[in-house]
């Protein structure tokens, strides 16, 4: 079957992967309302395309924290990618580099920061979970820095793991032939089999529930890398993130895997963008499956978007070639959306190019 869009990879991944692995990647928290909403909310935003504009040349390039990338589409951190494909994070890193975009490596990767760096050149960020043992955190951050990673994406929505019922039913654990490579030498790389989700037990034992805004400041004392705060959904927290020295904000609900019944990230985006007042870039993570989704996020003020599940599903289906194809399809669709909306550069994408169902009835400006 010829694959013509990103979502088709999920069907293939479901057929190919063991149930425990597919469920781990695919599921959300509790009723999975937010999981569905992350996608559905995009359909409540419609386009107001402008016509008769010369769109023979479209420029999708942008800069993120000073790094030039080919498009505002980046790779979010997703854990344990070798469960999807033997090449795991290596394949993802190579695909991102080939596409000229940024990959974010998960703390819970099945390949280490050094191994991912060894795949060759590329702009890479490192996603950080803060462990109870701060020496582990400091060591990990230093290793990422040494390996040439360019920023830290600090996940702030996981003092405890969300209730993912598929993982409980499946007694989810990391397959025995894999380890959380970044923690291998620290005896934190294995996950015990439990009568619950093995990951939930691991988080309960290792991740620091006392994490607070002062720790965002502490992180800046141990690294010179810019810190992106990942997991912001409100204006209040956007302001606090900026006050705490964040270099950027990622609007994320953790792929709807933490607290169910939080809004879709595309619904929370505008509130966060308004609170940030242009002081730091704001990015969107969650629910993006089409180039049209990318355009909508940028029209609402995002500086770029991150994709998660499409990466692991395409990785499961076709390895590195699958991830490359996902990035290419999203880029092609986004370029087409720009052209058909009358936008030649990212700067030309404005709030006037969309209408959202929460907007007040619009007074059409008279020419």
Residues identified as active-site = 254
d(CA 307, CA 301): 17
Q: Which residue do the tokens 């607070």 mark?
A: 212
Helical residues (DSSP H) of 165-224, grouped into ranges: 165-170, 198-206, 213-222
Q: In angstroms, what CA-CA distances link 180 with 36, 73, 99, 173?
A: 29, 26, 26, 11
Closest CA to 126 of 139, 111, 144: 144
Answer for the pair 158, 211: CB distance below 8 angstroms, yes or no. no
CA 327 – CA 42 distance, rounded (Å): 19
| DSSP annotation string for 213-254 | HHHHHHHHHH--S-EEEEEE-SHHHHHHHHHTT-SEEEE--G
Alpha-carbon distance of 289 to 117, in angstroms, equals 28
Dist. CA 308–CA 312, nearest whole Å? 7
């Amino acid at each position: 079957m010829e694959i013509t869009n990103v979502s088709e990879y999920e069907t293939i991944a479901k057929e190919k992967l063991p149930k425990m692995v597919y469920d781990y990647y695919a599921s959300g928290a509790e009723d999975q309302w937010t999981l569905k909403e992350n996608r559905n909310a995009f359909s409540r935003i419609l386009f107001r395309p402008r016509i008769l504009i010369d769109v023979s040349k479209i420029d999708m390039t942008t800069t993120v924290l000073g790094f030039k990338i080919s498009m505002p589409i980046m790779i979010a951190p997703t854990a344990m990618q070798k469960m999807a494909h033997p090449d795991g994070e290596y394949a993802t890193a190579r695909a991102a580099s080939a596409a000229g975009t940024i990959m974010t490596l998960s703390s819970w990767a099945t390949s280490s920061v050094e191994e991912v760096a060894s795949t060759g050149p590329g702009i890479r960020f490192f996603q950080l979970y803060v462990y109870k043992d701060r020496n582990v955190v400091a060591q990990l951050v230093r290793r990422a820095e040494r390996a040439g990673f360019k920023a830290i994406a600090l996940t702030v929505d996981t003092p405890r793991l969300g209730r993912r019922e598929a993982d409980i039913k499946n007694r989810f654990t990391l397959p025995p032939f894999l380890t959380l490579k970044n923690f291998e030498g620290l005896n934190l790389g294995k996950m015990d089999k439990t009568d619950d989700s093995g990951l939930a037990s691991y988080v309960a034992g290792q991740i620091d529930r006392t994490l607070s805004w002062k720790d965002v400041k502490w992180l800046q004392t141990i690294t010179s890398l810019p810190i992106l705060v990942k997991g912001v959904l409100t204006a209040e927290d956007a302001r606090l993130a900026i006050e705490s020295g964040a270099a950027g904000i990622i609007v994320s609900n953790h792929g709807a895997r933490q607290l169910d019944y939080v809004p879709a990230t595309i619904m929370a985006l505008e509130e966060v963008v308004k609170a940030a007042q242009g002081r730091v870039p704001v990015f969107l993570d969650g629910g993006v499956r089409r180039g049209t989704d990318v355009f909508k996020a940028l029209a609402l003020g995002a500086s770029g978007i991150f994709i998660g599940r499409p990466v692991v599903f395409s990785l499961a289906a076709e390895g590195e070639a699958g991830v490359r194809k996902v990035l290419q399809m999203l880029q092609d669709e986004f370029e087409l959306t720009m052209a058909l909306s009358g936008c030649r550069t990212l700067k030309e994408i404005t709030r006037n190019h969309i209408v959202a169902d929460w907007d007040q009835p619009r007074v059409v400006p008279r020419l």
